[in-house]
Amino acid sequence: MLKLSILLFMFPLLLSAQDKLVKTKVNDDITAKLPENFYPMSADDIAQRYPSVRKPLAAYTDDSRYVGFSINISATQWMPSDAAIAKDFFKASLFNLYDEVEVISEGIKEINGREFIYFEFDSQINGEQNSFTKKGPVRKYAYVQYLIVRGKTVVFSFNCPMQLKEKWQEAAGEIMNSLKVKGSL
């Protein structure tokens, strides 16, 4: 009886963990299914989370502001026929960004008629042991996909803190598998 009570209590919490995905028009060429509670990041959020000369094409988050989905155009130029070589290059780049990377899955797959390079992984940045702030390790779950279109590389990235991985991993895969890119950007 106690197990049933616990299950009945947890069931609504489990349901709320997966938000409904809705078709979202990013721009004239890109659509994705995103959780209905995602909204475009403010300019301040983008500046804080993506400190770069190259501003993301789009970036979304939820009310917690811990979870994010972004789209960037990379400076690297590849041809679609270079996908296998590009995959190895992108993997090496990911490993250089973090102190530790544990790859969950990787490969090249077709989504809605386009060939995407993908990496799903857990990462860790060790922090600054000798700084005044004494920041500890930062662990995240990420799902990143690359699409090569006419010499441009479009990077789709989903990430969240490791503590939220269980809640978001399935949704991240659904988001990435929903991507539709038309035209040549």
Question: Does residue 7 fall inside a structural domain?
Answer: no
- Residue among 20, 14, 172 at smallest CA distance from 105: 172
- Residue 19 has what pLDDT? 75
Classify residue 65: in a domain, yes or no: yes
pTM for this predicted structure: 0.85
Task: Specify if 1 maps to a domain.
Answer: no
The predicted structure's pLDDT at residue 136: 81
**Residue 132 has what pLDDT?**
65
pLDDT in tens, 22-75: 999 999 999 999 999 999 999 888 988 888 778 899 999 999 999 999 999 987
Residue 1 has pLDDT above 60, yes or no: no
Give which of 121, 119, 126 is closest to 99, Cα–Cα: 126
User: Is 2 domain-assigned?
Assistant: no
Q: What is the pLDDT of residues 117-166, one digit of tens each?
A: 999 999 999 876 665 666 788 999 999 999 999 889 999 999 999 999 99
Q: Over 80: is that where the pLDDT of 10 sits?
A: no
Structure tokens at 18: 């997966």
User: 134: domain CATH number?
Assistant: 3.40.1000.10
3-state secondary structure of 130: coil
Comparing C-alpha atoms, which of 175, 170, 152, 183 is closest to residue 72? 152
pLDDT greater than 70 at residue 80: yes
* Residue 6 within any structural domain of the chain: no
The answer to the question of residue 81 being in a domain is: yes
Find the mean pLDDT for residues 91-117. Answer: 96
Backbone angles phi, psi at 29, to 5 degrees: -110, -15
Q: In the predicted model, is pLDDT for residue 15 greater than 70?
A: no
- Asked if residue 30 is part of any domain, the answer here is yes
State which residues form the domain around 165. 19-181
The predicted pLDDT at position 9 comes to: 41
pLDDT at 177 over 90: yes
Number of domains composing the chain: 1
In a domain, 75, yes or no: yes
> What pLDDT, on the 0 to 100 scale, is given for residue 133?
63
